[in-house]
A = this chain, B = another copy of it.
Amino acid sequence: MSKKSSGAEIERLIALLARLPGLGHRSARKAALALIKRREDLLQPLAAALSEAAQKIIPCPSCGNIDTVSPCTICQDPRRDRSLIVVVEEIADLWALERAGVVNALYHVLGGHLSPLDGIGPEELNVVRLIERAVPPVKEVLLALNATVEGQSTAHYLTEQLHGHGVAVTRLAQGVPIGGELDYLDEGTLAAAIKSRRPL
């Protein structure tokens, strides 16, 4: 029905918007209408920003981050601690750490985690380049991977690969999140928090 009543261009726009994570078909229709209603201040700027992104944004050959410069802004930043590489699964994780502003080091984006069932082995991830980077001045590789089964098995694999390279391999602490209520935490978190308990 809707193909008949609105143009193919609108249908195509909705179908593409619906492929964005977080937008279902219904919200894609709302987004398309909002875009068309706000042609000057939203539709045209977004079209321009996407074209510019398609042309300019490139993956960093060193760390796997994305940027418009190569190597990326972080890899070029002289104020960063070059003795520490923080390994993350996805660029979104790098952004989360940067927003938190809790570490001022270099990064390495794996592009995912090992998942043999999905056919994702070490070759599918940005591993070789990580091993190459794990040389002086780098002294420590912090595996900031998700506290999931896949994240942790990826961490074990990387620990093995980095063994004997003369760098310390560390991981994030696990335990009760700040603000967390014990009543709502899962068994695994409680077990980790008790196992790694610290003197006051």
Binding site for B on A (CB under 8 A): 1-2, 4-10, 12-13, 16-17, 19-23, 27, 29-36, 39, 42-47, 49-54, 56-57, 65-69, 73-74, 77, 90-92, 94-95, 98-101
Contact = CB atoms under 8 A, between A and B. Distances in A.
A1 to B, nearest CB: 5
19 contacts: A1-B100, A1-B101, A5-B65, A5-B73, A7-B67, A7-B73, A9-B52, A13-B49, A16-B45, A20-B31, A22-B27, A22-B30, A23-B23, A30-B92, A33-B91, A33-B92, A35-B50, A36-B53, A50-B50
Contact of A34 (B1, B21, B44, B98): B21
A27 B45 CA distance: 19
A6 B5 CA distance: 41
**Copies of the chain in the assembly:** 2
Give the dominant DSSP class at A's interface. helix
Contact of A7 (B2, B22, B57): B57
Contacts of A73: 4-7
B101 A9 contact: no
A104 to B, nearest CB: 10
A123 B34 CA distance: 21
B46 A5 contact: no
A51 B46 CA distance: 9
A175 to B, nearest CB: 24
Given A6-B67, A95-B5, A44 B36 contact: no
A28 to B, nearest CB: 8
